[in-house]
Amino acid sequence: MNQIVFEIFQWFSKNGRNLPWRNTKDPYKIWLSEIILQQTQIIQGQAYYEKFVENFPTVNALANASEEKVLKLWQGLGYYSRARNLHKAARIIKTTYKGKFPDNYVDILQLPGIGEYTAAAISSFAYHMPYPALDGNVYRFISRLYNIDAAIDEPKNKKIYMAVLTELIHNQDPAIFNNAMMEMGALVCKPALPDCKNCCVANYCEALKSGTIAKLPVKNKKLTIKNRYFNYLFIDYKNGFYIEKRTGKDIWENLYQLPLIESLKPLDISEIAEAISKELSIQSTLPITLDKEVKHVLTHQKLHTRFWILKPEKQPQFKNNDIIFTDRLKYKKLALPQLIANYLLHL
């Protein structure tokens, strides 16, 4: 066995975390965990994983659920397209594969929401196929261990990293190999504070020798953040308030929110009154109160949100037919962006 792989396996056998999805060969549960853990910390992801397994113990149970129920369980995890794709893929598995999870890399890769990394993770963990799983942790670890400065966000460079991993995984247990490589990146070769003193492969680490750790991994692209200005209206009427379903290809598709007016800059009270009467056709003379301001940061967007309260005496009429009334209990069953759920909790 390659000495580097040997050291990593030894370290992993003593230090690998005992996570529920590591104790199963069920491809459905492995897939669930992989999708939940994209963009999510393990501690938060674990609670969602358990909730999903409890509510949908099989892929057919997930396929038979309504999208609303899936989105509601996903509430708070963000990146809701993951939940929609999970549901779509479960339905494909039910109809095309008769409820049996596909057992080869190519078919797994065809499912919605599954990229090369996830297909490799499922193939190796559930079926012991030697596909290296290259996630952000592994990119960082490999780029430092071998002092590779090819940018990790350039798709053409992926083959450089894959070539290294393909050689290392050869003749190894692919499930242990992939888990151990990811765990090294997550627990030892961390982004800002790599624990080189306690690293089992420090003697082999090229970046440590060359003093290049802080420069690796190289990324070329800068993340551009778009500022958006959201004005949410809490229209307080009788024992409830008004909500609408988000439609269109944008964040939080198909989730429910308070009626929204999006603007190009922050609106003051007279501007919001004008916008309300124009867009929603409720009386512009209605008293309006600014209740709360929240900055909500997503990966590519910063939402500057203002929550306004209106208390109409008469039932308001809306131009937009999608705005519906809900009482103060019913809305809890709906899938809401966490921003809205937190605001309603505050009320």
**Window contacting ligand SF4 (CB under 6 A); options: 37-45, 174-182, 204-212, 295-303:** 204-212
Nearer to ligand SF4 by C-beta: 1 or 193? 193
Shortest reach from residue 198's CB to ligand SF4, in Å? 8
Count residues near ligand SF4 (CB under 6 A): 15
Q: Which stretch binds ligand SF4 (CB under 6 A): 90-98, 138-146, 274-282, 296-304?
A: 138-146
From the list 202, 260, 286, 344, which residue makes contact with ligand SF4 (rule: CB under 6 A)? 202
- Contact with ligand SF4 (CB under 6 A) among 8, 111, 180, 208: 208
For residue 23, give the 3-state DSSP assignment. Answer: helix
**Which residues touch 240 (CB under 8 Å, ≥6 apart)?**
325, 326, 327, 328, 330, 331
| Binding span for ligand SF4 by CB under 6 A among 67-75, 200-208, 246-254, 301-309 | 200-208
Q: Angle CA(332)–CA(336)–CA(341) in degrees, nearest 5?
A: 70
Enumerate residues 170-199 that contact ligand SF4 by CB under 6 A.
188-189, 194-196, 199
- Tokens at 252, concatenated: 């939080």
Task: Return the residues of window 211-250 that contact ligand SF4 according to CB under 6 A.
Answer: 213
Q: Is 145 in the site for ligand SF4 (CB under 6 A)?
A: yes
Give CA–CA dist 96/91, Å, rounded.
8
325: alpha, beta or left? (left if phi > 0; alpha if psi -120 to 50)? beta
Nearer to ligand SF4, 49 or 141 (CB): 141
Rounded CA-CA distance 133/156 in Å is 17
Calculate the alpha carbon distances from 328 to 182, 240, 276, 290, 321 in Å.
45, 5, 23, 21, 20
34 is catalytic: yes
Distance CA 80, CA 339 (A): 13
**Which residues of this chain interact with ligand SF4, rule CB under 6 A?**
141, 144-145, 188-189, 194-196, 199, 201-202, 205, 207-208, 213
The set of catalytic residues is: 34
